[in-house]
Amino acid sequence: MDLDLIRRLSQPADTKVVLCVLDGLGGLQGPRGRTELEEANTRNLDRLAEGGCLGRTLPVGYGITPGSGPGHIALFGYDPLVYEIGRGALEGTGIGFELGPNDIAARGNLCDINAEGLVTDRRAGRLSTEVTTGVCEQLRQITLPGVEVFVEPVQDQRFVLVLRGEGLSDALTETDPQREGVSPIVATATSPEGERTAALVREWVEKARAMLGGRERGNGVLLRGWSGRPNMPPFPELWKLRAAAVTVYPMYRGVAKLCGMDSIEGAHTLDEQIALMKQHWDDYDFFFLHYKYTDTAGEDGDFRRKQEAISAFDDAVPALLALKPNVLVVTGDHSTPASMAAHSFHPVPLLLWGDLVRSDHVHQFSETNCAHGELGTFPAKEVMPLAFAHAGRLAKYGA
């Protein structure tokens, strides 16, 4: 649904909505012809499916494999083809760096550069996170005129560079040549508004080279994925409610924050997440709960472990229901079939449970049942309108 229409029709109500995202939930048939979800022990989810209704989402479009960014912002109700979270912004978000409206971020690599100025290893032999952390501390001493500079280690040789100041732009080239045996690319504006930023980046890269020149490994830097904070209308304003994210991993907390949600922090397990929700139950109308382990198992190609991760989530469902949400949605941000060991383009199973549900009389939460479910196959950006409609939070359109 169009965001202007949401803004127009959304209305406060005394109801609570919980969105559970089982990362990479959708799967493909395994050795026994059934999917991870179909093999998992889902007695609690199956009971919800009996009283609720099923469907499937297309996160971005037919045949499109979503990254985590688009997968989540679609579930939050934003068109992922309109609101794009750039790679620099996402990398910053992933380590908990809060991008401001005047920030421009890039993903950085420490790399090896030889005497001729050619890149010999784009990843500097995958330097350890410890070494990179030390190098980032050094790089923070570099100053640039008129802007603040942040350099944050990520993992291995990766770091994030953020420039903060008025009038910065992401309209400049990447400096990573994407292959070895050539020079790094000199940052150049791709349109006039990028010229000042490109000049600042050139200066920073030169100073970094001078500072790191004596190192054996990691004597150079490569920058890519320039991006600012995406400009999404805040979720709480669109829906006229208080929204909180309860996550374990910083990436998902970050995406929720970019959408204007609060973050309730401190949980390291699903039980702790639910305990935090209980503690803050009266403070919010909407909770986004993120569960990562379905995706990590899928990405590892481990069918059995993904199945078990789903079963483990199922075990927590009674505690979720004990909070007495009015509407509970269980879905994924994309599919991650163990047989592919990667995100995939397949539609994502969805279960919507609540008072106003039109039942589809099925007894199991599965890909096949979802394909035939009451809600049909629909764009993921319609999940929020559907959930909030079931919670009495969308007014009538027209007289």
- Interacting residue with a copy of itself among 142, 144, 211, 340 (CB under 8 A): 340
| Residue whose CB is less far from a copy of itself, 67 or 233 | 67
- Interacting residue with a copy of itself among 85, 127, 221, 317 (CB under 8 A): 85
- Interacting residue with a copy of itself among 2, 98, 148, 283 (CB under 8 A): 2
Our finding on whether 363 is near a copy of itself (CB under 8 A) is: no
- Can you read off the two tokens belonging to residue 213? 């020149």
- Interacting residue with a copy of itself among 23, 346, 351, 353 (CB under 8 A): 346
| Residue whose CB is less far from a copy of itself, 31 or 398 | 398
What are the residues whose beta carbons fall under 8 Å from the beta carbon of 9, sequence distance 6 or more? 394, 395, 396, 397
- Interacting residue with a copy of itself among 13, 47, 79, 84 (CB under 8 A): 84
Our finding on whether 68 is near a copy of itself (CB under 8 A) is: yes
Interatomic CA distance for residues 291 and 280, integer angstroms: 19
Half-sphere exposure of 306 (CA within 13 A, CB side): 33
Our finding on whether 11 is near a copy of itself (CB under 8 A) is: no
Half-sphere exposure of 217 (CA within 13 A, CB side): 13
Residue span binding a copy of itself (CB under 8 A) among the ranges 2-10, 195-203, 282-290, 308-316: 2-10
Number of residues that bind a copy of itself (CB under 8 A): 59
CA angle 328, 330, 336 (to 5 degrees): 170
Our finding on whether 354 is near a copy of itself (CB under 8 A) is: no
The CB-of-41 to a copy of itself minimum distance in angstroms stands at: 21
- Interacting residue with a copy of itself among 343, 350, 351, 369 (CB under 8 A): 343
Our finding on whether 31 is near a copy of itself (CB under 8 A) is: no
**Which residues on neighbouring strands pair with residue 220, listed in sequence order?**
111
Q: Contacts with a copy of itself in 200-229 (CB under 8 A)?
A: 225
- Interacting residue with a copy of itself among 185, 215, 345, 364 (CB under 8 A): 345
Burial 311-350 (b: 16+ CB within 10 A, else e): bbbbebbebbeeeebbbbbbbbbbbbbbbbeebbbbbbbb
Asked if residue 288 lies in contact with residue 244, where contact means CB atoms within 8 angstroms, the answer is yes
Helix (H, G, I), strand (E, B) or coil at 153: strand
Write down the H helix ranges in 280-375.
293-299, 303-322, 367-371
Our finding on whether 67 is near a copy of itself (CB under 8 A) is: yes
Our finding on whether 368 is near a copy of itself (CB under 8 A) is: yes
| Residue whose CB is less far from a copy of itself, 11 or 120 | 11
Helix (H) or strand (E) holding 228: strand 220-228
Residue type, 123: R
Our finding on whether 358 is near a copy of itself (CB under 8 A) is: yes
Residue span binding a copy of itself (CB under 8 A) among the ranges 240-248, 266-274, 323-331, 391-399: 391-399
| Residue whose CB is less far from a copy of itself, 315 or 374 | 374
Interatomic CA distance for residues 119 and 117, integer angstroms: 7
What are the residues whose beta carbons fall under 8 Å from the beta carbon of 35, sequence distance 6 or more? 26, 27, 28, 29, 337, 366, 367
- Interacting residue with a copy of itself among 42, 344, 366, 369 (CB under 8 A): 344
Interatomic CA distance for residues 72 and 290, integer angstroms: 10
Q: Contacts with a copy of itself in 91-150 (CB under 8 A)?
A: 91
Q: Which residues bind a copy of itself (CB under 8 A)?
A: 1-2, 5, 9, 28-29, 33, 35, 60-71, 80-81, 84-85, 87, 90-91, 225, 340, 343-346, 356, 358-361, 367-368, 371-372, 374, 376-378, 382, 385-390, 394-399
